[in-house]
Amino acid sequence: MGIWDKIRGELIDIIEWTDSSSDTLVHRFERYQNEIKHGAKLVVREGQAAVFVNEGQLADVFQPGTYTLETKNLPILSTLMGWAHGFNSPFKAEVYYCNTRTFTDLKWGTKNPVMLRDAEFGPVRLRAFGTYTTRISDPAEMIREIVGTDGHFRTEDITDQLRNLIVARFTDILGESKIPVLDLAGNYDELGTFVKNRLTPEFAGYGLELPTLLVENISLPPKVEEALDKRTSMGVIGNLSAYTQFQAAEAMAEAAKNPGGAAAGGMGMGMGFAMANQMGQAFSQQQQPGSSGQSGGAAPPPLPGQTQFYLGINQQRVGPLDLNAIKLKIQSGEVTGTTLAWKQGMENWAPASEVAELKPLFDAVPPPLPPQ
């Protein structure tokens, strides 16, 4: 610091700081040899706080306002320096201005995918990112724990540490919540609130406050998203047989527009009809019910005069079965009175013991043997 700075420090009796940056958290007011005159004016603007430090010890903290620096305005500093009866000469002290406004649009995100177990998809890897805001809530604690003797402390000096805290707590909460991957988008607000509440005391340990934390996106790896898109496309298509017929019709329309001649158009139409016919037959065969759920052809009709029933066993439809087959299953214990049954002509499934044709079969079952 040159001679002009020394002279200016002796002449200037106003201590103030105007912030021209957008990322300064703490700024140290520079004076020659940190000398401050008795009766100097201290100006603390809105969104600021001034902290006096004497030989490494925190002293007085000033909130927004204009102050005349005297013994009565500096009670802690007066005690530290032994001003029992006041003073009139310059004194030495460091003045730190803390920017207490809210810093917005700070980013957080996972550097590496988070491994989780999903109930539907199994092991999955997720990435997440979002934004948060922060502000200095305790200037003295901020200087004591983070700033130290740094004369110009910016947001970039602490955002890496804050991001690591957010990612760690977010990962833990996401794993504990066990929310299905497909339901995460409906729980962004709740996740942000939980993470914010978990981090509040940790931010307070740095003299900071966490007003808001937003979860903007949680995503799967690109290849998994592609597979999910294909699965969604299948759901949108719905009836694959009808879709195939529609595609064949579209192919025929395109073939009719083909300038290569009627022969080519006829060949395209024939191929389209053949493909639609074959795939339609295949799907209709797979959709017809069989006695054990197997495909490969329609089940033969029942013999004349026999009543055929379908039964719901182990969440599977079994049948058609005649009365003799059902009687054997009752005797083996595979079918009970609560087993659901249905036959052609019934509106809904009903317990087997309530069906008129099946009720006598349960009466014919012998009771269990008495104990030995």
pLDDT tens digits along 327-372: 888 888 888 888 888 888 888 888 888 888 888 888 766 666 666 5
- 3-state SS of the chain is CCHHHHHHHHHCCEECCCCCCCCEEEEEECCHHHEECCCCEEEECCCEEEEEEECCEEEEEECCEEEECCHHHCHHHHHHHCCCCCCCCCEECEEEEEECCCEEEEEEECCCCEEEEECCCEEEEEEEEEEEEEEECCHHHHHHHHHCCCCEEEHHHCHHHHHHHHHHHHHHHHHHHCCCHHHHHHHHHHHHHHHHHHHHHHHHCCCEECCCEEEEEEECCHHHHHHHHHHHHHHHHCCHHHHHHHHHHHHHHHHHCCCCCHHHHHHHHHHHHHHHHHHHHHHHHHHCCCCCCCCCCCCCCCCCCCCCEEEEECCEEEEEECHHHHHHHHHCCCCCCCCEEECCCCCCCEEHHHCCCCHHHHHCCCCCCCCC
Q: How far, in Å, CA of 58 to CA of 206, rounded?
A: 15
Average pLDDT estimate for 240-249: 72
Average pLDDT estimate for 24-32: 86
Q: For residue 58, name the pLDDT band (cuts at 50, 70, 90).
A: confident
Share of the chain above pLDDT 70, in %: 76
Q: For residue 295, name the pLDDT band (cuts at 50, 70, 90).
A: very low
Q: For residue 195, name the pLDDT band (cuts at 50, 70, 90).
A: very high
- The 10 Å Cβ neighbour count of residue 50 is 24
Q: Is 305 left (phi over 0), alpha (psi -120 to 50) or beta?
A: left
Least confident residue range of 121-125, 196-200, 222-226:
222-226
Average pLDDT along the chain:
80
pLDDT value for 337: 83
pLDDT value for 291: 43
Model-wide pTM > 0.85: no
Least confident residue range of 159-173, 222-236, 341-355:
222-236
pLDDT value for 202: 94
- The 10 Å Cβ neighbour count of residue 273 is 15
Share of the chain above pLDDT 90, in %: 30
Q: Give all strands of the β-sheet with 316-321 in edge-to-edge order.
A: 316-321, 309-313, 340-342, 350-351
Least confident residue range of 41-50, 97-106, 107-116, 276-285:
276-285
Distances from the Cα of 166 to the Cα of 95, 108, 146, 162, 304, angstroms: 32, 7, 18, 6, 73
pLDDT value for 366: 64
CA angle 154, 160, 161 (to 5 degrees): 100
pLDDT value for 292: 44
Least confident residue range of 42-46, 71-75, 338-342, 367-371:
367-371
Average pLDDT estimate for 152-160: 91
Q: How far, in Å, CA of 55 to CA of 63, rounded?
A: 22
pLDDT value for 80: 72
Q: Is the pLDDT of residue 160 over 60?
A: yes
Q: Is the pLDDT of residue 321 over 70?
A: yes
pLDDT tens digits along 2-17: 554 554 445 457 889 9
Q: Who's near 332: CB < 8 A, 6+ residues apart?
A: none
Q: How many residues does the chain have?
A: 372
